[in-house]
Structure 1
């Protein structure tokens, strides 16, 4: 069939999909719709040709977080100059509220630097503002949350329009990857289409999305990543700690070990390992003595998980250096950053010599003091969280962490599970340093509970054989239970989801409202209704409706057995825990750890 016989919308969609493949897109998530039909036919044919994997979901919010997980779970890709960048994932939706439902995932991708390419179909320009069905202002839908937005007119077959579209697609992928800015994130191609929206019946579907749709002489632009090196600066003082927030990466551990600085690393930092890593850092910091004499903090990644760390960064007597690669804003919630660097200076990573305070400014007793406090915290946490006691959020998190290996991936919910994991991670590791047991992924960009199940499924699909688990609370699970829905033709996935079910939102017990909701306090009833939000949902029946295996686990010992022998497919392990003791138990554990740390430091 000659090109003039192919509708312009179909021809443009085929070229666009081929261009995305050429620029490294290997996964496309699609939510069905009419206006996006040209794109749907193109990506389906490209998937049939083995050029990409297609994932179809009927809920756009679920689709958005699935794409987020696919990118976060994929291995990074090497680009010219030896720079590794994340894998871009494309999203296809129809017009109207379908696009709006991607907003939570787009916001999370914006704040965590995940390269999503949103392909949103739209009505042609002449129908906008006329009250046409499913038509709204999509161009400004995501506001400043996207790295690039392009409003692409409806193709009409004019000369050069495919070449223009290919150039736009190339710029969009480069912007999503942050090739020139060092700040990856979502981009939005708003693609207007006019009828006809489907290919002719006699068009060979296998041709859709293949390279022959490129115009003669077209070449893909190679964009070389811009690399910014950190300048050589004087070393910070010896009494420094490294705070590693979400996405910090291994460089935070390397810096801590090279300089002999204690490492306070969040679970999703990618740095929670090694002999400098402090176990239960939020509890250790509760003992003021441990940080006495602190002069400097180096922050890598986005540290948002616990208040004790934020209070440390807010100390007026402590200097703060923030390491923030790329051209985006730097994290500094306490507004105390004295300097912002694009990377860790190479001289800071030079391995120090052994001994006490040496010529490189290393203060070995400083690190040993923190290590002693860490060991004391680990002993107390290990004693309190016994398998023989009734299960609690922290004891469940401990069992999940202990079951994980360095080859596994753990997706953790952003409410209590992330905080519980922060307390227990490393407690069961060998003496002498925290073992790198597991890669932890969390949606800490906005720390919402949106789409966590879908994110975990995306991570598992991208995992290349890695065992994937998720640790979530009951409200997080219920918030995205629709993520369990998967059509029979979709790629299969192996995932264990551990749900800590306390029948409500126990996270609020540890925040300001919790003090007004205890026992018979006058505000207890209000707290229960508007914060704790008990639901009484039967998770087993919900899982059965989605065709997902469910198992109610009565105790921690049984949980350890279930974690050691996961079934195929998606398996939900529900552990019911009490909610009324959450605040009291947390305070008691913090008090015991604080006492042990003070006692240990006093004896040194």
Structure 2
């Protein structure tokens, strides 16, 4: 199949798997792949197709079908003014709470603004009238496209029917289709299976019930607790006898099931390859090993999301549930194996971090000073990842992980500290500090919190040195476009805002500085060489492997 034909075949099949039984089509050229796929499904008796030459009529026909069946109905149009003619029906569906699914065919994005025939900006053309808008992108033969298409359709249908939000309504998928628009001969084999699940939709969405979903022991299971997961993740892990991989801001990083070195163990041990099922709580965004785990096709992923949208960046979720009831504990020693590996890993990690003033060492010292019950605000980029390696992380760790940006970190910390009403700490990098320096500009009549800010200053974008950009192959351009040194005097900047500043150069000096009473806002700065980040990551991995392989 060519890409557009494969795309349409998969999309129509997944719509049917998601409960669609009626479909409406207004004819056109750019929408031909979808039209042919719908016609084939109609011929096979999998759905009933209705064709109208007027898009306005087609839209209201779909409205009538929805009112009569209570099921979601897609309406397919070609590009240009055809899409705009659906606006009255979309508004009706929006105000009536009806699950109308608009599949708008479009020209490829590169033709927008070029004067190409029948090409206009169809992105979010219905504004806030739709519950969801998504541009599916130009179909390609890239591996992973099928999971992307099917996952998006399952999510779109569930949004239209209000499965997660109790707010049903219209949705729009904009489908940029490329020529050839009809099936062609002599096409190369598709690089992956176009098939869906053996039964049902790609992602089965459970909602509208207060009853938790029963989960039994059996597959080798781990619990991943992302940002905001809460103690529900810890309770599930302990009830099931499963390892708990908890990010610092999960509010779940406590108890005997916690594997503090999970991120390194996933990369350096053989245990990760044995995982068969993952229960996901919260919004995991922190590490590549977890992202790779959640994208593995051989792992069953169950997402626990009580309300709203759910995280599934790997497009592999087999089910989304509102809650879990663990019906028994794993008795195979699975958790004990991870605990043993973690017990071997911890001394190896601590030994590497024992002397030098490194990012992970600073994070561990700060976490220790804050205490298990204290409040710590941590910035994105390296600080939160460094904290992830600490043996103990405060339960009340706050992080802006929605988009994982560094914007407004100081202001977030100030707000958290004011809400906390007591001593609060923040761990930030130099770029996050500079990005929100105005957060320290507080008028004399304004309430001021008790906040201690620890700045790990490596004079630029330290995280990039640990990524692909930091390899020797990109050394010629690294400093200017990734390292971005700024050579800024943080003490002078603090002086400009009347904020006390202290520079520390050793671990002992940092510990001593952290013992002072937190009164008002102050800053502790620790300077690091950016060149040390990449070798440190390698040293940690090597030390961990040596520890795990010892007799």
Tell me if both proteins adopt one fold, taking TM over 0.5 as the criterion. yes
Deviation at 1:232, TM superposition (A): 3.8
* Residue of structure 2 in register with 1:344 after alignment: 324
- Tell me if 1:244 matches 2:212: no
Match runs of 1:160-199 below 5 Å: 181=165
**Distance in 2 separating the partners of 1:145 and 1:468:** 42
Match runs of 1:397-412 below 5 Å: 397-412=363-378
Q: Which has the higher contact order (CA 8 A, sep 6+)?
A: 1
Change (3 A) 1:145 1:372: farther
Aligned-partner SS, 1:498: strand
**Distance in 2 separating the partners of 1:265 and 1:593:** 19
1:240-265 CA-to-partner distances (Å, cap 9, x unmatched) read: 10000000000100110111000001
1:404-425 CA-to-partner distances (Å, cap 9, x unmatched) read: 2233110001110011011124
* Divergent runs of 4+, >6 A: 143-148
Match runs of 1:272-283 below 5 Å: 272-283=253-264
Aligned-partner SS, 2:453: strand
Q: Is the 8 A contact 1:287 1:598 kept in 2?
A: no
* Residue of structure 2 in register with 1:475 after alignment: 431
2:351 to 375, 378, 383: 383
* Residue of structure 2 in register with 1:538 after alignment: 489
* Residue of structure 2 in register with 1:4 after alignment: none
**Distance in 2 separating the partners of 1:146 and 1:409:** 39
1:167-203 CA-to-partner distances (Å, cap 9, x unmatched) read: xxxxxxxxxxxxx9499xxxxxxxxxxxxxxxxxxxx
**Distance in 2 separating the partners of 1:481 and 1:368:** 46
RMSD: 2.5
Structure 2 gaps, min length 5: 1-123, 133-163, 168-206
Aligned-partner SS, 1:573: strand
* Residue of structure 2 in register with 1:511 after alignment: 467
Deviation at 1:364, TM superposition (A): 4.5
**Distance in 2 separating the partners of 1:294 and 1:598:** 20
* Residue of structure 2 in register with 1:271 after alignment: 252
Change (3 A) 1:361 1:547: closer
* Residue of structure 1 in register with 2:526 after alignment: 575
Change (3 A) 1:573 1:556: same
2:333 to 358, 362, 365: 365
Q: Is the 8 A contact 1:238 1:363 kept in 2?
A: no
1:413 to 352, 355, 379: 379
**Distance in 2 separating the partners of 1:537 and 1:362:** 54
* Residue of structure 2 in register with 1:494 after alignment: 450
* Residue of structure 1 in register with 2:414 after alignment: 457
- Tell me if 1:554 matches 2:534: no
- Tell me if 1:302 matches 2:283: yes
Deviation at 1:481, TM superposition (A): 0.6
Q: How many residues align?
A: 357
Structure 1 gaps, min length 5: 1-139, 149-179, 184-225, 351-359, 427-435
* Residue of structure 1 in register with 2:475 after alignment: 524
* Residue of structure 1 in register with 2:396 after alignment: 439
Deviation at 1:234, TM superposition (A): 4.4
Q: Is the 8 A contact 1:295 1:319 kept in 2?
A: yes
Deviation at 1:594, TM superposition (A): 2.6
Change (3 A) 1:363 1:239: farther
**Distance in 2 separating the partners of 1:242 and 1:425:** 18
Change (3 A) 1:254 1:528: same
- Tell me if 1:284 matches 2:246: no
**Distance in 1 separating the partners of 2:129 and 2:398:** 21
2:314 to 334, 343, 346: 334
**Distance in 1 separating the partners of 2:478 and 2:394:** 38
Deviation at 1:509, TM superposition (A): 0.8
Deviation at 1:383, TM superposition (A): 0.8
**Distance in 1 separating the partners of 2:235 and 2:371:** 21
Aligned-partner SS, 1:571: strand
**Distance in 1 separating the partners of 2:451 and 2:461:** 24
1:139-184 CA-to-partner distances (Å, cap 9, x unmatched) read: x9xx879999xxxxxxxxxxxxxxxxxxxxxxxxxxxxxxx9499x
1:413-446 CA-to-partner distances (Å, cap 9, x unmatched) read: 11100110111243xxxxxxxxx64411100000
**Distance in 2 separating the partners of 1:323 and 1:299:** 6
Aligned-partner SS, 2:356: coil
* Residue of structure 1 in register with 2:440 after alignment: 484
**Distance in 1 separating the partners of 2:406 and 2:264:** 24
Q: TM-score by structure 2 length?
A: 0.61
Deviation at 1:573, TM superposition (A): 0.2
Deviation at 1:593, TM superposition (A): 1.1
**Distance in 2 separating the partners of 1:567 and 1:232:** 46
Change (3 A) 1:479 1:256: same
1:61-103 CA-to-partner distances (Å, cap 9, x unmatched) read: xxxxxxxxxxxxxxxxxxxxxxxxxxxxxxxxxxxxxxxxxxx
Q: TM-score by structure 1 length?
A: 0.56
1:209-262 CA-to-partner distances (Å, cap 9, x unmatched) read: xxxxxxxxxxxxxxxxx9842444342525110000000000100110111000
**Distance in 2 separating the partners of 1:334 and 1:253:** 23
